[in-house]
Structure 1
Amino acid sequence: MPDLSLLLAGLSRPEAYPHPVDELRLIQTHISAVLLTGPYAYKLKKPLDLGFLDFSTPERRRHFCAEELRLNRRLAPQLYIDVLPVTGSAEAPRIGGSGEPIDYVLRMRQFDPEQQLDRMLERGELDTSFIDRLIPRIAEFHAAAAVAPEDSDYGSPETVFAPMQQNFDQLRPLIDDPAQQAQLARLEAWTQSQYAALKPLLAQRHAAGHVRECHGDMHLGNITLIDGEIAIFDGIEFNADFRWIDVANEIAFLVMDLASRGAHELARHTLSAWLATTGDYAALPLMRFYLAYRAMVRAKVASIRLGQPGLDTAERDDILAAYQRYADLAERYTAAGEPALIITHGFSGSGKTTVSGHVVDALGAVRVRSDIERKRLHGMNPAADSHSDLGSGLYAAAATEKTYAHLLDLADTIMRAGYAAIVDATFLDRDQRERFAALAAERACPFLILAVAADEATVRQRLQLRHGDASEANAAVVAHQRHHADPLGDDEPVITVDSAAPLPLATIEAHLKR
C-alpha cells in the first residue's frame, strides 16, 4: 500500500479521474475516505486491521469493495455502480487505468445529502406518510434476504449477547463519574438478566429463520431519496456478524434512532407499522432488549474519543453529553411497560383506522387491524381484492370467527410483551367485545372501547374514495352492519370519538391509568 496521505493527495487532483470533475472534496471516516467529484463518489478503504475489520492488504480491500457493492445493490441499486482499480503511483494515481493496481475504489453515484432522512427530519419534512413508504421496502428486503443456516453461529444467542457485553466492558474504563458508573452498572445488570430470560426466544427465532443477511447499519443517515425513490445505503460489509442479525434487531436501530432525535411519534409509528406489515408480533418481547442495545452502541461510539489524548474540556463535555443522551434513552427502554387493551367500535368508514393510528403515534400502542389480519390468515396481500360477497368467502361467519380469535391472540402477545394493544375492528357484536374485555381482566390490564362515529355523508364519501386499502367494505356492508349491530351497553367502558375532531388523548390516558 502506498503512503495513504500521498495517495489521497494524488486522488484529490482532477486528472486522476476518467471523467470531468465538477468539484473535488475529500471526506474521511476512521475506516475510509470518500472523494466527491460531482457526478460520482469514490470510496477508498484505509489499510487498517482493527480486529472487527481487516483492510490490511490490497486484496482484502478489493474483496470488501466487491462485498460492499454486492450487499448495497440490494437496497440501493441506483447508487452503487462498480469497483475500479487504482493504477499508476501514489503521486500520480489513475482510477480505472491500465497497469498493475495499487489499490481499489468503490464507485457510487453522488447524491444530494440534503435528501438524507436525518436532514429531512431536521427540516420537519419527515412524516408518517414517508414511514409508510419506507417500512414495506424494508420488509420486502428482509423477506428476500438470505437466511442464516440453522447450524451457523450467526444470530445465535451467544453471538447476539457478545457485543452487548462488549459495550459495557469497553465503556467502563471511559466513564469516571460515579452517577454514570452506577447507571452503566444498572444497564449492564438489566441486559444480562434480559438475556437470561430471552435466550430461549433468541434460539427459537434463529431456528425459525428470522436471522438474515441484513443491512446492519439502518439509521436515518443511511437512508436517502434519489430521484424520489428510497435508497438505503452504506450497509456493513466488513464484519458478517454485524449484518447477519435478527430482522427485529435491524428495525430496532431505526426506531431507536428516531427516538434519539426526539421523533418519538415517528418511532412509535415505525414499530407498529413494521409489525403490521410483517405480522412478526412474536418479536415484541425482544424489542426493548434490542432498543437498549442499539442505544448503548451509540453511547459507546459517542464515547470512543474519551480514551484519546488531546481533548480539551469543552470537547470532553460535549462527548459526555452525547453519551448521557444515549445512556438515558437506553435506561428508558429498561422500564417495565404498561400493558392495556383498547378496541375500536364503529361501522366501516367511520374512521377507526385513522383514530387508532393517532393512538399508536401519541401513546405508543401497538395496533392490529382486522382487515389486514383477515387477509393474512388467507395468505393474501392486504391490498388485494378477495372478491368475497357479504357473508361469504373471507367474510363468512367462520372466517370472521377465526379472524377475531387471531386478533385476541395477537392482543395477548402484545400485552404480554408490556405494550398497550389497540385492535382496529368493527366490534359490532357484544360477545366479541366481551371476549376482549375478559382477556384484559385476566391480564389485570385496563380495558377501553373507542366508539368512533361519523355522519352518514362522511362515511359514504370515505367508502367511495377508498383505493388500495385492506378494507373491502361498501355501502351494502355498512347497511348490513347498521341493521345487525349490538348496541353498546351502559356497563361497557366507552369513550366516544368523533373521527373528524381532535382525539381526546388526556381522557384516554386517564382511563388507561385507572
Structure 2
Amino acid sequence: MPPPTSSDSAEVRCRRLAEALRRLLQRAGDPPVAAIETHISWVLLDGRFAWKVKKPVRLGFLDFEDLATRKRYCDEELRLNRRLAPQLYLEVVPIFGSVDAPQLGGAGEPIEYAVKMRQFEPGALLSERLAAGRLDAAQLERLAGRLAHFHDEAPAAGADTPFGSAARIEADTTQVLDGLAAFVAPAVLSALRERLDARARRLRPLFERRKAAGRVREGHGDLHLANAVALGDDITAFDCIEFDPGLRWIDVCSDIAFLAMDLLAHDRPDLAFRFLDAWLAASGEHDGLPALRYYLVYRALVRALVARIRAAQARGPGAHPADHPGGPDYLGLAQRLEREHDPRLLVTHGLSGSGKSHLSQRLLERVGAIRLRSDVERKRLFGLGALHDASAGPGEGIYAADATQRTYERLLALAMHSLDAGYPTIVDATFLRARERDAFRDAARSRGVPFTILHCRAEPSLLRERVAARRAGGADASDADLAILERQLAGHEPLRDDERAAAIEVDTGGPVDVGALAARWLAQGRA
C-alpha cells in the first residue's frame, strides 16, 4: 500500500471549510466550538451537536476524493451507527454556500455533507475514562453483553461473498503490513509477516468453518477505546467502519479482539481479559479462540498504521516518516502477542460457596487466562441464559447425572480449544468427583501442558452464608441452594494424595494474595 495521498488543494479547501463551519456554529451559540481533526475527517463540537465532515483524501484503504462518494458514505455512517447508538446519530446535513461562507441548509448544489450527531459529555469515551482511572470492569462487562447481542442480531455473510474468507483475512493483513512498510524497518516487518503467514495457513480451515457456521457478521470493524462511550448508565460503541464493507463484515472474534487489544496496549491486561471473559460467557464463541490471537495481532497492526498515518499528516508533506509516532506501542504489542504461548490448565475444586468463581475471576485478570464456568456452559447446553433459574431437586432437570456428564464433556472440549490456542485456561466447576478431575488431568497430559487443581475451602457456616446470599441476590449463574450444599457436604470425593501434589489449596475465608497465587500457578510445570 502506498503512503497516503490526497490533493493538496482539496486538503487545504477542507481545512478552510472546517474553520468556516466552526465560525458559523460559533455565531449561533455561546460555548466555544472545538474542531477535532482525524486522519479522515473533521469533527466540530458546538456544545449540543457534533458535525462530522469527511476529508477528500485517498488512502490505501479508502477513497473519499469524490463528493458523491463522501455523501454515500455519510448515509452509510448514519445507517450503520444507528444499530448501536441510535440516540447519537441524527441525520446527514447538506452544506451549501461556499468554502469560506458555508450554510447549513439552503438551496442549490451542496458543496459538502456533514453527519450530525448528538454531542456526549466530555470524558465519556472509554479511552478518556481509562486515562482518568474511571473505567471499571462492570462497564466493560455491560459492553461485552451488548456486543454479544449485537452480533447475534446482525446479518451473517453469505457463502457467495468474499467477506470473512481465509483469502480476505490474509489479504487484509497483507495490506496493513504493506502500509507499515513506509514507516517500519524491513527486518521487523519481515519477521512479523513470516510468523503471521504461517499462523494464517494453519488457521485457514477454522476461518472457513467459522464463516460456514454464520460467525462472519456485519459488525463494527473499528472497536477501539475511543469508539466506545458511556451514555449515562448505558455503554455502547459508535463510529463503525462505513467505507469498506469488508472491514466490518468480519468474524465476531475479530470485532471483539480490537477492544481487548486496545486495553492490552494501554497496559490493562486485567480489563482486557475481564472483557473477554464476559463476552465469551455471553456469546459462547469459544471455538473461535484459536483465531483470537491472530486477530489481536492484526488489530494492533491496524492501530500502529493509523498512528503513523496521523503523525505523517501532522508533520506535513515531505516530512520523514517516524517509526515511533507516540502513544501506545501497538507495533511492539503485535510482536509480543505473536510470540506469546503458555498453555496450562487449572481446574477448581470446592463446594458451592467456597469462592471458586470469585477467585478464578481475579486469577484470570492477573494471569491473562480464558475461563470456562460450568454454571454458564451447563445452561447454554440446554438453551438457557446464564441468569435463568433452572433450579430443581438434587439430580433432576439440567442437574441430572447425564446432564452433568454432558456439561463436563463440553467443558473439556472447550478447554482444549483454549489450550490449543496457547492460553492459560481455567475451568470453574465443583469437580467433586475424582473421575471428572482425572479426565481433565489426562487431557492436559496428552497435550504436554501443566495441570493444576485450585482447591478452595471455607468453613461450612461461611459456605451456607454465601450460598444463601447468592440465591437471594439472583445475579449469578449458579443455581446452588442450601439443599444442594448440604448434599455436597455429605457426599463429595476429596482430593487423593496424588492429586494434592498438583493442587494449590486456598482458604477463602480470609484475604487471598492473588498475585502470589498467580505466581504459584505459573511456576508449576516450568523447568
For residue 491 of structure 2, the aligned residue among 477, 481, 484 is 484
Q: How far did residue 439 of structure 1 move?
A: 1.1
User: Within 5 A, what are the aligned runs for 1:159-308?
Assistant: 159-175=168-184, 180-304=185-309
Determine the C-alpha separation between the residues in 2 that align with 1:421 and 1:136.
Answer: 21
- Match in the other structure for 2:352: 348
- Match in the other structure for 1:358: 362
What code does the residue aligned with 1:325 have?
D
| Cα 1:89–1:221 shift into 2, 3 Å | same
Whether 1:378 and 2:382 are equivalent positions in the alignment is yes
User: Within 5 A, what are the aligned runs for 1:37-436?
Assistant: 37-50=46-59, 52-175=61-184, 180-304=185-309, 319-320=323-324, 322=326, 325-436=329-440
| Cα 1:316–1:343 shift into 2, 3 Å | farther
Secondary structure in 2 aligned to 1:174? coil
What code does the residue aligned with 2:454 have?
L
Decide which moves more: 53-62 or 2-11.
2-11
Decide which moves more: 23-32 or 92-101.
92-101
Residue deviations 1:95-140 (CA, integer Å, cap 9, x gap): 1345543322111011123121111111222232222111101111
Determine the C-alpha separation between the residues in 2 that align with 1:75 and 1:472.
Answer: 32
Determine the C-alpha separation between the residues in 2 that align with 1:307 and 1:488.
Answer: 61
- Match in the other structure for 2:17: 7
Aligned length: 507
Q: How far did residue 32 of structure 1 move?
A: 1.4
Asked if 1 retains the 8 angstrom alpha-carbon contact of 2:89 and 2:118, the reply is yes
Whether 1:472 and 2:482 are equivalent positions in the alignment is no
Secondary structure in 2 aligned to 1:12? helix
- Match in the other structure for 1:507: 520
Determine the C-alpha separation between the residues in 2 that align with 1:174 and 1:257.
Answer: 21
Residue deviations 1:168-212 (CA, integer Å, cap 9, x gap): 22323433xxxx432321111001111111112111111211111
| Cα 1:79–1:455 shift into 2, 3 Å | same
Secondary structure in 2 aligned to 1:130? helix
Secondary structure in 2 aligned to 1:62? helix
Asked if 2 retains the 8 angstrom alpha-carbon contact of 1:217 and 1:235, the reply is yes
Backbone CA RMSD of aligned residues: 2.5
| Cα 1:181–1:89 shift into 2, 3 Å | closer
Q: How far did residue 30 of structure 1 move?
A: 2.7
Determine the C-alpha separation between the residues in 2 that align with 1:478 and 1:413.
Answer: 31
Asked if 2 retains the 8 angstrom alpha-carbon contact of 1:22 and 1:39, the reply is no
Decide which moves more: 271-280 or 150-159.
271-280
Asked if 1 retains the 8 angstrom alpha-carbon contact of 2:344 and 2:425, the reply is yes
What code does the residue aligned with 1:501 have?
P
Secondary structure in 2 aligned to 1:491? helix
Determine the C-alpha separation between the residues in 2 that align with 1:300 and 1:30.
Answer: 11
Q: How far did residue 343 of structure 1 move?
A: 0.7
- Match in the other structure for 2:503: 494
Q: How far did residue 407 of structure 1 move?
A: 1.0
Determine the C-alpha separation between the residues in 1 that align with 2:383 and 2:301.
Answer: 38
Determine the C-alpha separation between the residues in 2 that align with 1:252 and 1:96.
Answer: 41
| Cα 1:305–1:90 shift into 2, 3 Å | closer
Secondary structure in 1 aligned to 2:329? helix
Asked if 1 retains the 8 angstrom alpha-carbon contact of 2:39 and 2:309, the reply is no
Asked if 2 retains the 8 angstrom alpha-carbon contact of 1:218 and 1:235, the reply is yes
Determine the C-alpha separation between the residues in 2 that align with 1:310 and 1:451.
Answer: 58
Residue deviations 1:206-226 (CA, integer Å, cap 9, x gap): 121111111110011111111
TM-score (norm 1): 0.92
| Cα 1:28–1:497 shift into 2, 3 Å | same
Residue deviations 1:451-485 (CA, integer Å, cap 9, x gap): 11122332222222222211111111000011110
What code does the residue aligned with 1:7 have?
L
Determine the C-alpha separation between the residues in 1 that align with 2:132 and 2:230.
Answer: 15
Decide which moves more: 74-83 or 326-335.
326-335
Asked if 1 retains the 8 angstrom alpha-carbon contact of 2:146 and 2:236, the reply is no
Decide which moves more: 343-352 or 324-333.
324-333
Residue deviations 1:210-249 (CA, integer Å, cap 9, x gap): 1111111001111111122113111111111111111111
| Cα 1:452–1:316 shift into 2, 3 Å | farther
| Cα 1:398–1:310 shift into 2, 3 Å | closer
What code does the residue aligned with 2:142 have?
R
Residue deviations 1:56-110 (CA, integer Å, cap 9, x gap): 3333222211110111111111111111222334343221345543322111011
Determine the C-alpha separation between the residues in 1 that align with 2:327 and 2:36.
Answer: 24
For residue 29 of structure 1, the aligned residue among 12, 21, 38 is 38
Determine the C-alpha separation between the residues in 2 that align with 1:218 and 1:13.
Answer: 32
Asked if 2 retains the 8 angstrom alpha-carbon contact of 1:62 and 1:104, the reply is yes
| Identity across the alignment (%) | 43
Q: How far did residue 309 of structure 1 move?
A: 10
Asked if 2 retains the 8 angstrom alpha-carbon contact of 1:14 and 1:20, the reply is no
Structure 2 residues not aligned, in runs of 5+: 1-9
Decide which moves more: 164-173 or 289-298.
164-173
Residue deviations 1:122-172 (CA, integer Å, cap 9, x gap): 122223222211110111111111211111011111111112112222323
Determine the C-alpha separation between the residues in 1 that align with 2:491 and 2:202.
Answer: 47
Q: How far did residue 324 of structure 1 move?
A: 9.2
Asked if 1 retains the 8 angstrom alpha-carbon contact of 2:96 and 2:108, the reply is yes
Q: How far did residue 377 of structure 1 move?
A: 0.2
Asked if 2 retains the 8 angstrom alpha-carbon contact of 1:437 and 1:447, the reply is yes
Determine the C-alpha separation between the residues in 2 that align with 1:305 and 1:127.
Answer: 29
Asked if 2 retains the 8 angstrom alpha-carbon contact of 1:154 and 1:211, the reply is yes
Asked if 2 retains the 8 angstrom alpha-carbon contact of 1:340 and 1:445, the reply is yes
What code does the residue aligned with 2:347 have?
I
| Cα 1:110–1:90 shift into 2, 3 Å | same
TM-score (norm 2): 0.90
| Cα 1:305–1:127 shift into 2, 3 Å | closer
Asked if 1 retains the 8 angstrom alpha-carbon contact of 2:39 and 2:310, the reply is no
| Cα 1:470–1:308 shift into 2, 3 Å | closer
